């Protein structure tokens, strides 16, 4: 379990370094987790509503 957590954090850090936005990674994670529990149409709407970046909001 510890190893998994470590890799998860490392992945977020890597994304933070590449894109310079931790919020974007969090928003993407939330969108992916919601996608598993909601229909596609709802997923698209939730993805826009939950997105924490102006970039994603503009994309929608």
- Two structure tokens written together for 59: 């994309």
Q: Summarize pLDDT for 5-25 with one digit per residue, the tens.
A: 555 555 555 554 555 567 777
**Is the Cβ–Cβ distance between 50 and 42 less than 8 Å?**
no
> pTM value?
0.23
**Is the Cβ–Cβ distance between 57 and 31 less than 8 Å?**
no
In the predicted model, what is the mean pLDDT of the chain?
59
**Is the Cβ–Cβ distance between 46 and 31 less than 8 Å?**
yes
């Amino acid at each position: 379990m510890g190893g998994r957590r470590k890799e998860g954090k490392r992945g977020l850090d890597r994304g933070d370094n590449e894109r310079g936005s931790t919020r974007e990674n969090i928003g993407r994670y939330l969108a992916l987790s919601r996608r598993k529990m909601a229909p596609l149409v709802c997923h698209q709407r939730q993805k826009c509503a939950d997105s924490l970046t102006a970039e994603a909001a503009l994309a929608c």
